[in-house]
Each structure stands twice: as C-alpha cells, then as structure tokens.
C-alpha cells in the first residue's frame, strides 16, 4: 500500500496483543473495541483456543488487536501447551500488549502472565469488569497494586461488557503506536477465513448450551461448504472425545443439537449477510485433544 510521506507522518499503526488468564474478558474486550462480535465468548474456561486478529481502522490510526487464549497455569496436556504457545508467539512482533485482569486483586495466575511479557514491551494494564464494583473508591487500592508490580504504560479501568472506558483505552493504545501507513486495507476486519468463523460460532453454541464437562472435549470441523446464489450451505461435525458425550450434544430427541444449529445459523446469517443452511451431526474421536498431531489435523494453530 503506497502513500506519501505526509500521510505516513500523520498516521499510526501497529499490532497489539491482548493477554491475560482465562475468563477475564479478553474476547469481550476485543469485540467491544472493534464493534463486531468477532471472537466467541462464554462463561466456560478455554473458550478462546486460537489467536484471532481484529482490525480497528480510524482516520488517524489503525490497531490490529491480537486476541489470545487465556494463559494456562494449572492444566497440562497437548491443548493447553498449544494454547500457551499461541500466547507467547502472539507477543512477538507486536508494538504493545494489553494485560487484562478483573477488577479485584491481582492473582498468582495474573502475575504468571505478566512474567511472560518482555520488560521492553509497552504494556497497558486493563482493569476489566469495573461495573461490578460497588464504589469507585474500590479502584484506588487495585490501581496501587498494579503500579507496584510493573511499570505500565497506562492503567485503564474499563467494563468491556458495558462499554465503559473504551475511548480512553483506545486513545492510550494509539499513543503507543509508531508512525506508519495502515497495515491492512480499511475494510479488513480479521485475517481469519469464513470457515474458521463458522466453526467458532457453532462451538460457542455448544459451550453455551451444554454442561460443564463436554465443551473442553469438543471441537467443530467443517465437512462441506458451498457458496450458492441463494446463500451458503454448510455441513459441520461436532467432534467429541467420548462416546458418552454424544447423547449430551444431541439431547432428548435431538432437541439440543437442533437448538445449537438454529442459534448458530442465525448468527452466521447475520455475520455473512446472507441466508445460511447449516447441517450438524456429532462424531466421536477419542483422544483428539491429547496430541499435537491430532490437534493440528483438526485445524489448531
């Protein structure tokens, strides 16, 4: 992309990683900042499994937000290792990082996330979920605690869900970016394919509509994809790791998988701005999350 020197001098651009332990609202923050529900969310741990880029383009700057999985400090196994590797790779080559934590005290898991961030990397502390605080006075000791563990470029209290403090955060991020022409075309939203976005929306519905045990052992694979003049025809398999999980996904007389499909189809029709025909079924693939080779065969980064 070419531009003249004066345009470059007046424009800033760069990549910014969003990091933090699981369930602090990183994906909700990404969606709120870019104004689109790009990254899936749920109350389940490990909802985000992949690095996801979301691009915010303004007249004077462009920010490429790199959403990352929650950094795993308690769980072993192939998937947590792959997810943690995604986090450490994401902070390589970025201009800054957003360290997202909840509005309470910094936990040992929070401090472990901070330890992986290079001291030379500008880091903004984002204190999320301030809407849950009963008084603004509660923020003062939290900010003091943050200030004691690292020199942050800024400490910004926000509520991603309620969209509080996002303008201040956006301006603080833009101030850290180098002068540069845009890194992406103005209408770019993400670097992820439509197929990836479709699998994520289906997986989100599985997470939200099933019990606590099933989601971690579940992934979604596109079997067929057809773009037609009347819209998209998508067939996908919900892959589970145990035979006992299959009836949980299907539900009584197929009611749960029907609801998963209905809600996912509505989301995808809105996302792709066209009619979507979605067909789902369940496959059992024991141990699919237990080796990196198996994970990569199913599309994991």
Check the annotation: does 231 bind a ligand.
no
Asked if 226 and 233 touch (Cβ cutoff 8 Å), the reply is yes
DSSP 3-state of 43: coil
Q: Binding site annotation covers 20? A: yes
Residue 283 labelled as part of a binding site = no
| Residue 22 labeled ligand binder | yes
Is 21 annotated as ligand-binding?
yes
Residue 129 labelled as part of a binding site: yes
- Is 287 marked as binding a ligand? no
Do the annotations mark residue 70 as ligand-binding?
Answer: yes
DSSP string, 9-27: HT-EEEEEEEE-STTSSHH
Helix, strand, coil tally for the chain in percent (to 5): 40, 25, 40
Query: Would you say 77 is a known binding-site residue?
Result: no
Please, are residues 78 and 27 in contact by the beta-carbon 8 Å criterion? no
Consult the annotation and say whether 67 binds a ligand.
yes
Q: Is 69 labeled as ligand-binding?
A: yes
User: Is residue 242 a known part of a binding site?
Assistant: no
Report whether 24 belongs to an annotated binding site: yes
68 known ligand binder: yes
| Residue found under tokens 């024991």 | 286
Write down the H helix ranges in the chain.
Answer: 5-9, 26-34, 78-90, 108-115, 139-149, 166-174, 194-209, 246-250, 255-272, 292-297
The answer to whether residues 262 and 201 touch, using CB atoms and an 8 Å cutoff, is no
| The token pair that represents 203 in the structure block | 């997986």
Q: Tell me the binding residues.
A: 20-27, 67-71, 128-131
Q: Tell me the binding residues for GTP.
A: 20-27, 67-71, 128-131
């Amino acid at each position: 992309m070419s531009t003249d020197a004066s345009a470059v001098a007046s424009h800033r651009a760069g990549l910014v990683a969003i990091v933090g332990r699981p369930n602090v609202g990183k994906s909700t923050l990404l969606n709120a900042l870019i104004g689109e529900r790009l990254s899936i969310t749920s109350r389940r741990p490990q909802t985000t499994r992949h690095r996801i880029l979301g691009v915010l383009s303004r007249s004077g700057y462009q920010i490429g937000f790199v959403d990352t999985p929650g950094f795993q400090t308690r769980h072993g196994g192939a998937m947590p290792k792959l997810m943690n590797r995604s986090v450490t790779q994401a902070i390589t080559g970025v201009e800054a990082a957003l360290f997202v934590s909840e509005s309470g005290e910094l936990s040992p898991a929070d401090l472990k996330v901070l330890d992986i961030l290079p001291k030379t990397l500008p880091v903004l502390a984002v204190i999320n979920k301030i809407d849950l605080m009963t008084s603004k006075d509660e923020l003062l000791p939290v900010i003091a605690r943050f200030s004691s563990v690292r020199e942050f470029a800024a400490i910004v209290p926000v509520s991603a869900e309620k969209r509080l403090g996002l303008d201040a955060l956006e301006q603080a991020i833009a101030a850290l970016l180098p002068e540069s022409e845009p890194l992406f075309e103005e209408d770019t939203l993400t670097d992820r394919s439509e197929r990836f976005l479709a699998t994520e929306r289906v997986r989100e519905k599985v997470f939200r509509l099933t019990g606590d045990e099933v989601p971690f052992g579940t992934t979604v694979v596109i079997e067929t994809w057809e773009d037609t003049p009347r819209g998209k025809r998508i067939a996908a398999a919900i892959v589970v790791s145990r035979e006992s999980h299959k009836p949980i996904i299907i539900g009584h007389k197929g009611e749960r998988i029907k609801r998963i499909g209905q809600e996912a189809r509505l989301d995808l029709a809105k996302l792709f701005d066209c009619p979507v025909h979605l067909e789902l079924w369940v496959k059992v693939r024991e141990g699919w999350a237990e080796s990196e080779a198996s994970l990569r065969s199913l599309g994991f980064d």
